[in-house]
Amino acid sequence: MKKIISLFTCFFIVLGFTQVSYAESETLKRLKKQGYATVAVANEPPYSDIKSDGYVTGAAPDVARAVLNVLGVPDLKAEVIMYGAMIPALQARRVDMATSGLYIKPGRCESIIYSEPDLCGAEAFAVPAGNPNNLLTYEDIAANPSLKMTTCAGCAEEKYALERGVSADQIVYFDAPPSGIKMLQQGRVDVFALSGLGTADLLNKTNDPNLELVMPVTGVPMGCAGAAFNKDDLEFRSEYNMALAMLKATGEFAAIIEPYGFSAEATASKSYLTQCPDGM
Amino acid sequence: MEWNWDHAFAVLPQLADGLVVTIQATIVASLLAYVLGLGIAILKMSKSKFTRVSLYWVTEFVRRTPILVQLYVVFYVLPDFGIFLEAFTCGVIVLGIHFSTYTSEVFRAGIDNVPKGQWEAAKSLNYNPLQTWKNVILPQAIPPMIPPLANYLITMFKETPLLAAITVVELFRAADQYSNSHYTYLEPMTLVGIFFLIVSIPSAMLAMKLEKKFKQAKTA
């Protein structure tokens, strides 16, 4: 009898396990099998940073790596993709996720889905030292049509600018943030706009006394980013959120993002649903 | 992914603006390529070995490095040495210089094709070098050059999207910007392809016609 009971127990345990693996999303199964996830990053430290040997790091990929580890996917492979092109890349499944500080915005939620917010931060400008045009808000740029600003095509800063009256002719798009700073140094543009921590990091590395940081830019919301997924990956997104919540609860999340200058507390106060009410 | 006419119509005005820039860039760059190319071809016939050898290396250097690299150098690096040019100017200068190394070969072949006797005839008429070139050599050399030069014009037209890399909002960049903010590549990129075809196919046909006309004139 004992033998039969233990056999049954074994049977149910095995059944339990198969059920667990059965509940796994197709996407997660595929990623586990291949041993890595392909992610889109923008190479904008501290959000995402590709080392010269190709290793991808930065706050967003590090969070994603930790979350995927919990889910059983050991590695990340990164592709550098411009912000505007990340959504088409997700839709075409060229990448499994975008982990690069892609802000959660209602317009984007129509095309893709996000995890719960992982990185929140203020916005910034970089300007010539002394801020000769006295630029503190996007409205200040709009007020002087002879000024040129640079930012990335399809990123949140472009939308902030256009919504606040900056004309499309005033915007010069950079391919990568460092080339935007270069254009500012050379006087091709009057102001560089990007995330606060991203801009601060660039100015730090450029170490040019002729440039100055304006942070925070007032009149724009704090931008919150999350990992982004293809719209069909609802199940995978739930799995990701569960693992992310676990990391947030254990404090591991804070330990990952705080050295990069992000605040876990700022992130905790935001939820996906308040950012993207119609995004489900 | 389904074709969306709303996107197609919305992007059209931006593409039209981009097409104007593309055509402007093509015209200015090709004029530069023709003038410089002719200059290089004439200088390469110089008696000074130093001129010939240095020109050879300069043209090799320009021809054997990618246009994209040259654009980045002119746009991002030259300002550090005090040479600051607007993005559009950078673009047409790089394209013009790059293609002048190719058009110079067309000019050289055209000039070589003029029979030696013509040079001697000019000499016997006591023409100075300017008169020789203007009245004798170029009128005979230029017609057969027109078809290959027209082909380079079309090639340059197709290379203009490279200028997008240095922030020139030409046809391709205009479409790319729309794609980046509306998350769709299907309509903008298809239309860019069609715009390029609309210009390049008739131009290519015209170049072919010119080539035929020249051949007939020669055999007649």
- For the record, the structure tokens of A231 come out as 């719209």
Band (A4; pLDDT cuts 50, 70, 90): low
Minimum distance, in Å, between the CA of residue B193 and any CA atom of chain A: 19
Q: Is any Cβ of chain A less than 8 angstroms from the Cβ of B179?
A: yes
For the domain covering A26-120+223-275, report its CATH number.
3.40.190.10
Smallest Cβ distance to A154: which of B1, B87, B181? B181
pLDDT band at A280 (very low <50, low <70, confident <90, very high): very low
| Residue A211 DSSP code | E
- Whether the CB of B66 is below 8 Å from some CB of chain A: the reply is no
pLDDT digits (tens, 9 = 90+) for A153-170: 888 999 999 999 999 999
Where along chain A do its domains lie? 26-120+223-275, 123-214
Q: Are B147 and B210 in contact (CB under 8 A)?
A: yes
**Lowest mean per-residue pLDDT among A227-231, A267-271, B214-218:** B214-218
Q: What is the DSSP letter of A110?
A: T
d(CA A30, CA B147) in angstroms, rounded, equals 55
- Helices marked H in B113-185 — which ranges? 116-124, 129-131, 138-159, 171-182
CATH superfamily of this structure's domain B5-219:
MetI-like (1.10.3720.10)
Q: Which residue has the higher pLDDT, A107 or A232?
A: A232
Determine the average pLDDT of the residues in A179-201: 95
Coil, strand or helix at A218: coil
C-alpha span between B182 and A111 (Å, rounded): 10
Question: To the nearest whole percent, how much of chain A has pLDDT over 90?
Answer: 72
Under CATH, what is the fold of the domain A123-214?
D-Maltodextrin-Binding Protein; domain 2 (3.40.190)
Give B13-68 pLDDT, tens digit per residue: 999 999 999 999 999 999 999 999 999 999 998 899 999 999 999 999 999 999 99
Question: What phi, psi does A132 have (nearest 5°)?
Answer: -60, -30
Confirm if B191 and B204 have CB atoms less than 8 A apart.
Answer: no
* pLDDT of A248 higher than 70: yes
pLDDT tens for B113-144 read 999 999 999 999 999 999 998 899 888 888 88
pLDDT reported for residue A50: 86
Could you tell me the two tokens for A260?
């990069």
Write out pLDDT tens, residues A46-77: 999 988 888 899 999 999 999 999 999 999 99
| Interface check B165 vs A, CB under 8 A | yes
Q: What mean pLDDT, rounded, does chain B reach? A: 92
When scoring B90, B167, B173 by the number of chain A Cβ atoms within 10 A, the one with the most, hence best to mutate, is B167
Residues A100 and A44 sit within 8 Å (Cβ to Cβ): yes
Tally Cβ neighbours within 10 Å of residue B31. 13
Residue written as token pair 């209602």: A106
Residue A141, CA atoms < 13 Å, CB-side half-sphere: 33
Helix (H, G, I), strand (E, B) or coil at B105: helix
Question: What predicted TM-score, i.e. pTM, was given to this entire model?
Answer: 0.81
A100-153 pLDDT tens trace: 989 998 889 889 999 999 999 999 999 999 999 999 999 999 999 999 999 998
Q: List chain A residues with CB under 8 Å of B176.
A: 153
How large is the ipTM? 0.78
DSSP annotation of B136 reads I
Q: How far is A54 from chain B (nearest CA, A)?
A: 22
Q: Are A61 and A76 in contact (CB under 8 A)?
A: yes
The larger pLDDT score, comparing residue B142 to residue B96, is at: B96
In the numeric block, which tokens belong to residue A257? 């993002």
Tokens coding B135: 């009245």
